[in-house]
Amino acid sequence: MYRHGRTFAFTLAAALGAAACTPKDQPAAAADSTAATTAMTPAATTPPVVTVHAADFKFDGPDSIPAGMVTFHLINDGTTFHHMQLVRLDSAKTFADLQAAIAKPGPIPAWVTFVGGPNAPDPHGESNATMNMPAGNYAMLCFVDVPGGVPHVARGMERSLTVVPSSSTVAAPKPDVTLTLADYSFTTSQPLHAGIQTIEVRNNGPQAHEVELIRMAPGKTQKDILGWMQKPNGPPPGSGVGGIASAAPGEVSYFTADLTPGSYMLICFVPDRKDGKPHFMKGMVQTVTVS
């Protein structure tokens, strides 16, 4: 959706720098393949960081991680836009069951629950999401459909993730701003501001929602962005910051963003339960000014 333009420098300094510790009894190696889990201190106070790479068209990351509060760090190595949509598989269903269900036309089975995940950064950009992950079977999927209109999951962009029980007691981050999603609106507890901030995203439902944060190019408006999405000719009028992928009502996640002053857009692409139209067409799109 967004060609490589100005990429957001995601400041995960807090998360990446401080998340270097996990409890001793936790399988730290499973949490991350980067150096983020190497240093240890007695008690972790920030979530372990799980790094996942997105490419055209696959995910690379750990097969299993410990349960508890975790920060997913998505690095987009691809030439197009990707996100990391996490789904939980209930009723003892497996990744193979999910693959079989996805391969068939029809509605998503009731045992699949959308639980968020880092939303889409620009190509060569990064995004993040922090959330509590109870033990269970999960999958990461990419529903982005550019270029060509085929969701990436249909091109093989799906990966299994097993969350194993752990004794983690890491608490949720302290948010600077709470963003509430509902049918069909975005409400912030206070304005987004320039600099680093942690944004708590709560879905009040009744439908699943996402938030994708887009920084508009100077002088561009919501209309330009929506027009470009219909016909992506020329350079994009905005840049993907990230946000939280689709999450069921009641889900709570956090993401950290380092914003520069300017105009931003909040948007939800989730198809409506009733007519399949994306929620932004029902008003779930909002322009905000960051100063």
Neighbours of 272 (CB within 10 A): 16
**Sole window of 43-51, 99-107, 135-143, 183-191 interacting with Cu ion (rule: CB under 5 A):** 135-143
| Least spacing, CB of residue 64 vs Cu ion, in Å | 22
Q: Which is nearer to Cu ion, 27 or 278 (CB)?
A: 278
| Least spacing, CB of residue 157 vs Cu ion, in Å | 5
Q: Which is nearer to Cu ion, 246 or 263 (CB)?
A: 246
Are the C-beta atoms of residues 23 and 47 closer than 8 Å to each other?
Answer: no
Backbone φ and ψ for 247, nearest 5 degrees, come out as -135, 145
Q: How far apart are CA 35 and CA 151, in angstroms?
A: 32
Are the C-beta atoms of residues 129 and 120 closer than 8 Å to each other?
Answer: no
Q: Which x/- pattern, by CB under 5 A, does the window 154-183 give for Cu ion?
A: ---x--------------------------
Q: Which is nearer to Cu ion, 44 or 157 (CB)?
A: 157
Q: Which residues contact 252 (CB under 8 A, 6 or more apart)?
A: 131, 132, 172, 200, 201, 202, 203
Is residue 142 close enough to count as binding Cu ion by CB under 5 A? yes
**Sole window of 20-28, 30-38, 136-144, 279-287 interacting with Cu ion (rule: CB under 5 A):** 136-144
Q: How far apart are CA 61 and CA 71, in angstroms?
A: 13
| Least spacing, CB of residue 121 vs Cu ion, in Å | 11
Q: Which is nearer to Cu ion, 152 or 220 (CB)?
A: 152
Q: Which residues contact 291 (CB under 8 A, 6 or more apart)?
A: 193, 194, 261
Are the C-beta atoms of residues 270 and 143 closer than 8 Å to each other?
Answer: no
Residue from 73, 82, 202, 215 binding Cu ion (CB under 5 A): 82
Structure tokens at 151: 């969701």
Structure tokens at 169: 């007691």
**Sole window of 95-103, 152-160, 187-195, 232-240 interacting with Cu ion (rule: CB under 5 A):** 152-160
Nearest to 102 by CA among 160, 20, 32: 160
Q: How far apart are CA 139 and CA 71, in angstroms?
A: 16
| Least spacing, CB of residue 291 vs Cu ion, in Å | 33
* Strand order across the 68-76 sheet: 58-60, 49-55, 68-76, 126-133, 252-259, 195-203, 177-182, 185-188
Residue from 88, 152, 209, 215 binding Cu ion (CB under 5 A): 152
Q: How many residues bind Cu ion (CB under 5 A)?
A: 5
Residue from 28, 52, 129, 144 binding Cu ion (CB under 5 A): 144
| Least spacing, CB of residue 229 vs Cu ion, in Å | 16
| Least spacing, CB of residue 56 vs Cu ion, in Å | 7
| Least spacing, CB of residue 60 vs Cu ion, in Å | 13
Residues that bind Cu ion (CB under 5 A): 82, 142, 144, 152, 157
